[in-house]
Chains A and B, each alone.
Chain A
Amino acid sequence: QKEVEQDPGPLSVPEGAIVSLNCTYSNSAFQYFMWYRQYSRKGPELLMYTYSSGNKEDGRFTAQVDKSSKYISLFIRDSQPSDSATYLCAFPGTSYGKLTFGQGTILTVHP
């Protein structure tokens, strides 16, 4: 079993839709949770970084963590064509921050 499973997609949604991206993990050592966005031919860009179970909101983005179920989600409200990218969940599993990534979900938002 992989340490991290991410819904593979790809996802294609109309502009304005609510998008839900999800990851499950098996490693109890994961205590921090990140979401990165990666545009084509660019490096990953940090979107959200959370520690606690519950929700964290930043503009149109909400990160949700359920530690008891080992499940994290990223919601995008009022999606825009500029949100079209690959979204990666990531988990630092060591004291020095070595990241374990999900496989990524390709999202396309069409006008």
Chain B
Amino acid sequence: GAGVSQSPSNKVTEKGKDVELRCDPISGHTALYWYRQSLGQGLEFLIYFQGNSAPDKSGLPSDRFSAERTGGSVSTLTIQRTQQEDSAVYLCASSLDHSNQPQHFGDGTRLSIL
């Protein structure tokens, strides 16, 4: 597709379950970013990938959060043992490379923890 694709668009799960969120960046974009958007905190950086490596994971809120990227393309963000405070919209963005190129966002995954 032409844009950044994220799935699922909505996810409702019970507290304590694990969830996997997927991001398919724009073809040819080597840089990939995950952000989280919540009412109280706004839009916050989680992790940055250049190719398959993650030089900056500083925004991951706890060790329950992990992410990987394979083949320099698709990325998955995994949250283990979900908590209610994990409820938020998880946004993925990609850019052509890492040198402050414009970032293009997907429409996010809206995660609700019951």
Which residue numbers of A lie inside 8 Å of B, CB to CB?
32, 34, 36, 41-46, 49, 88, 92, 94-104
**Contact string, B25-45, partner A, CB cutoff 8 A, digits 1/0?**
000000101010000001111
Across chains A and B, the number of contacting residue pairs, with CB separation under 8 Å, is: 62
Complexed CA–CA distance, A97 and B104 (Å): 12
Asked if B62 lies at the interface with its beta carbon under 8 angstroms from chain A, I say: no
Please tell me which one of the listed residues A34, A45, A96 contacts residue B98 in the complex, with CB atoms under 8 A apart. Answer: A96
Total count of chain B residues near the partner, CB < 8 A: 27
**Contact indicator A97/B105 (Cβ below 8 Å):** no
**Contact indicator B100/A97 (Cβ below 8 Å):** yes
Query: Given the known A-B contacts A43-B105, A46-B104, are A101 and B95 also in contact in the complex, defined by CB atoms under 8 Å?
Result: no
Complexed CA–CA distance, A67 and B44 (Å): 24
Please tell me which one of the listed residues A34, A41, A98, A104 contacts residue B102 in the complex, with CB atoms under 8 A apart. Answer: A34
Listed by A's residue number, 21 A-B pairs whose Cβ atoms lie within 8 Å are A32-B100, A36-B105, A43-B91, A44-B91, A44-B105, A45-B105, A46-B103, A49-B102, A95-B99, A95-B100, A96-B31, A97-B33, A97-B95, A97-B101, A97-B103, A98-B33, A98-B48, A99-B33, A99-B45, A100-B45, A102-B42
Asked if B1 lies at the interface with its beta carbon under 8 angstroms from chain A, I say: no
Please tell me which one of the listed residues B43, B50, B55, B95 contacts residue A44 in the complex, with CB atoms under 8 A apart. Answer: B43
Residue of B50, B56, B98 most packed against chain A (CB within 10 A) = B98
A103 cross-chain contacts in B, Cβ below 8 A = 42
Q: Which B residue sits closest to A88, measured CB to CB? A: B43
Q: Which B residue sits closest to A43, measured CB to CB? A: B105
Complexed CA–CA distance, A46 and B94 (Å): 12
Measured CB to CB, the closest approach of chain B to A4, in angstroms, equals 9
Complexed CA–CA distance, A102 and B44 (Å): 10
Q: Which B residue sits closest to A104, measured CB to CB? A: B42
Q: Which A residue sits closest to B50, measured CB to CB? A: A96
Measured CB to CB, the closest approach of chain A to B23, in angstroms, equals 11
